[in-house]
A and B are shown apart, each in its own frame.
Chain A
Amino acid sequence: MIRFMNVHKWFKDLHVLNDVSLNVAAGEVVVVCGPSGSGKSTLIRTVNQLESINSGEIWVDGKNVVDPKTDLNALRAEVGFVFQHFNLYPHLSVLDNITLSPLMVKKMERAAAEKLALQLLERVGLAHKKDAFPAQLSGGQQQRVAIARGLAMQPQVMLFDEPTSALDPEMIGEVLRVMKDLAESGMTMMVVTHEMGFAREVADRVVFVDHGQIIEEAQPEEFFMNPQHDRAKQFLRQLLTPMQ
């Protein structure tokens, strides 16, 4: 479903993505982790070209996203993206946030778009908040609305860029539960996160990124029990026992 082939990207002299190759199969859930500044957020943002790349190829659902002939807007409509800071549209109600792109990009009829939005709100447990505005919701609620907004385009793939990093601890669970539910429904997901509990329980594969390179790729059990590289070992140690 997603295929990175020898992807390179530089920010001036900084080699943020260094020869990244990775496959994400349909229905698979891949967690990307690594120290901050390792390039993991950049990596996930290249999938729908919120970040461009300097060389290599990225294929999504059979289309090469870096080919200038590819209709990028059509492709982006098939890829849901959930941001660290939610990025809901503050001037629109919850319902309008969700229906905006089905109405404007897919040209769906309003009644159908609203029905779909209500189903999705039901699914993330926020149907009663449909008329609220983003500023009236908690962080966890905003992020669940953002997930519903991403799903409203009925995407092939959902990308999550640190979806719980900006949340208070007591709100992380409600967002992860929605994501787990989504994974179980068979959605293809690529998730940048530090939530190792989620990775262990939900991911099919864990990818460890450091200095712009994928240096470890394994099933969660394998990755957590028996990491191969020193940097991965160190990362896990810091994450699991931060005080030592």
Chain B
Amino acid sequence: MNYNWDWNVFFKSTGIGTEIYLDWFISGLGWTIAVALAGWIIALILGSVLGVMRTLPNKTASGIATAYVELFRNVPLLVQLFVWYFLVPDLLPERAQIWFKQDLSPATSAYLSVVVCLGLFTAARVCEQVRTGVQALPKGQNYAAMAMGFQQAQIYRYVLLPQAFRIIIPPLTSEFLNIFKNSSVASLIGLMELLAQTKQTAEFSANLFEAFTLATVIYFVLNMSLMKFMGWVETRLRVPGMMGGAK
């Protein structure tokens, strides 16, 4: 291959103001993190509620949660994003439409769409993990809590969920990493997150290989750090006398 590598490209001016290419990557990384963390908060809260619903004896509650999971797991993420960005705003009441399309900056409306999209998509996956975590617990835990006179909410709050969440930290970590990786779909609706900035750098500077190499390294280091962080969380929450959490 005949290619002139030029790693100094990141410190060269973009030709726009005083920015260098590295600034674009930093800004892109900021958006990636902002999208992923906000989406994760939605996914964790909604997914936990849905996961609990799926384990309830109440058929309506578990039916609603099951339908949700089927819907959001079986439609491609990109299709969901286009629905949230291109279709849903048109279904809003007129004032909300004007607000979304005209009052908000394009970056903000793209940001809102992608956060909602990733949050709801990932919630379906978190739901399934919470459900399996609760179902993996011995039935006796539920009986013991019932026998003490706990109400159902207390059983979940004090007995089932603290154990279930410990069990599911490893698969939950995968979902946490996935939402960072999936956030790259935002580039397709014009949000200038890491991937979009990479493509833009490649086009502006013609240093395609350097740009994508840097993006790869940033994604890799980011996800490795998250994985280490979650490993630390898991160790901290480990129950003495037990390997790897609850039995």
Does the CB pair B154–A104 fall under 8 Å?
A: yes
The reply on B1 being an interface residue by CB < 8 A is: no
Residues of A within 8 A of B151 (CB): 73
Q: Does A6 contact B (CB under 8 A)?
A: no
Residue from A50, A85, A132 in contact with B147 in the complex, judged by beta carbons closer than 8 Å: A50
Q: How many residues of A contact B (CB 8 A)?
A: 29
The interface residues of chain A lying within 8 Å CB-to-CB of B242 are 90, 133, 135
Contacts of B247 in A (CB 8 A): 90, 135
Task: Please give, as numbers and ranges, the residues of chain B lying within 8 Å of A79 by CB-CB distance.
Answer: 147
User: Which B155-175 residues sit within 8 Å CB-CB of chain A?
Assistant: 158-159, 162-163, 166
- Does A105 contact B166, Cβ atoms closer than 8 Å? no
Tell me whether B241 and A136 are in contact (CB under 8 A). Answer: yes
- Select A91's contact among B146, B147, B150, B246, beta carbons within 8 Å: B246
- From known contacts A133-B241, A135-B240, A136-B240, infer whether A105 and B143 are also in contact, taking CB-CB under 8 Å: no
Quick check: A76 and B146 within 8 Å, CB to CB? yes
Q: Which residues of A contact B (CB under 8 A)?
A: 48, 50, 73-81, 83, 85, 87-91, 100-101, 104-105, 132-136, 149, 153
Give the shortest distance, in Å, between A155 (CB) and chain B (any CB).
Answer: 10
Instruction: Report B-chain residues with C-beta under 8 Å of the C-beta of A104.
Output: 150, 154, 158
Residues of chain B contacted by A134 (CB below 8 angstroms): 241
Contact B246 A83 (CB under 8 A): no
B138 touching A89, Cβ below 8 Å: no
Bits for B18-54, please: 1 = Cβ < 8 Å to A, else 0: 0000000000000000000000000000000000000
* Cross-chain contact B138 with A85 (CB below 8 angstroms): yes
User: B141 contacts the other chain (Cβ, under 8 Å)?
Assistant: yes
Establish whether residues B241 and A89, one from each chain, have CB atoms under 8 Å apart when the complex forms. Answer: no
User: At the interface, yes or no: B15 with Cβ under 8 Å from chain A?
Assistant: no
Most chain A beta carbons < 10 A, residue from B143, B149, B150, B158: B149
Residues of A contacting B144 with CB < 8 Å? 81, 83, 87-89
Complex CA–CA separation, A100 to B154 (angstroms): 10
